Amino acid sequence: MQRKFTRELLICINSFNSSRYVKCALELIRQIQLELNYGGVKFSIFCVFGGCSRYNFCRIDNLMFVSIPQNLSDHNVYAGINFYQSILPKICNCVMLHDTCAVKKGCFRKMMMKIGRYDLRGWVFGHALGLYNIGICDMQFALLNSTNWIGITHLEKTDSIRLEHARCKITVQNKNIPGLRSYSNFTLQQANATTGVQDFKELDFHSIVPIREDGQTKTKHVVFIGSLGVYKFTHSPGPFLLPIWVNEFCPTTEEEFEVLSSNKHVQNNDWVRALIPYLPPKIVREDM
């Protein structure tokens, strides 16, 4: 049997310096460790808390906690990567998560084992439609994107959401920050690929019914991102999101994606467009 080469995963958790989000981040870390600590996956966890009084770093085995003074909403992790890059692995596959994500038992481990065998280049969205800044990338892309945040100290939540979906640049503190969609049109979700999705546990789901947790005043819908095996809370722009993929609205190649880009209906609803299934190259030699 041919040996399967694997690459270290750096699981990056974006969080913030408030009791609620710190509690969420610690719970997510607990779930990840339960899934991965019993072997088979090379990984470390890098958790960044924004909005702190100063830079600080703490390591406990393969778990790294970082504090930064910037408040960059859902992009704190990139400021942390930029400041602490000297202590991070030079070669690894980064998995970008929010602190409010939750792990689906078994499914998360299975997907991390898959991702550990990928020879990644650039950014790939986890969600089928490219929603949220949740996905995977190589360390080179993480460092590249981190340079965009040099000199930025505060990011409004509305601009943070715009950056998750934008193909253009968003002006933040007189600096133009590119949205993740300007880097990638690809998704890990294989719904439109030739092989399709083989297991219903790996599909993406969007809840019809919202949830109000722990006495919160706002309701949130729940999204399941099957390619990563995680749940995420989200504020839906409408009472219910129902993307419909039909024929030419379901691209499988970059050429089809470009044709789709010229459709006026897609242009008017760009944030719910289907992306191209990513066909990951596999690692063919052990990392040095």
Predicted pLDDT at 41: 92
More confidently predicted of 193 and 102: 102
Predicted pLDDT at 247: 62
More confidently predicted of 130 and 153: 153
pLDDT at 285 over 90: no
| pLDDT tens by residue, 155-170 | 998 898 888 878 888 9
Predicted pLDDT at 157: 87
| Overall average pLDDT of the 128-144 stretch | 93
Domain range list for the chain: 9-277
DSSP letter for each residue of 218-281: S-BEEEEETTTTEEEEE--SSS-------GGGS--SHHHHHHHHT-HHHHHTGGG---EEP-PP
| pLDDT tens by residue, 17-27 | 999 999 999 99
Q: CA 264 → CA 35, 72, 249, 268, 270, distances in Å?
A: 44, 33, 12, 6, 10
As a residue count, the chain comes to: 288
Predicted pLDDT at 197: 78
| pLDDT tens by residue, 212-242 | 777 677 788 889 999 999 999 887 655 455 5
pLDDT at 206 over 90: no
| pLDDT tens by residue, 43-89 | 999 999 999 999 999 999 999 999 999 999 999 999 999 999 999 99
Predicted pLDDT at 40: 86
Predicted pLDDT at 129: 84
Burial of 31 (0-12, 13-18, 19+ CB in 10 A): middle
pLDDT at 148 over 80: yes
- Write down the mean pLDDT value for the chain: 88
* 1 band by pLDDT with thresholds 50, 70 and 90: very low
Predicted pLDDT at 257: 86
* 3 band by pLDDT with thresholds 50, 70 and 90: low
Predicted pLDDT at 103: 96
| Overall average pLDDT of the 132-153 stretch | 95
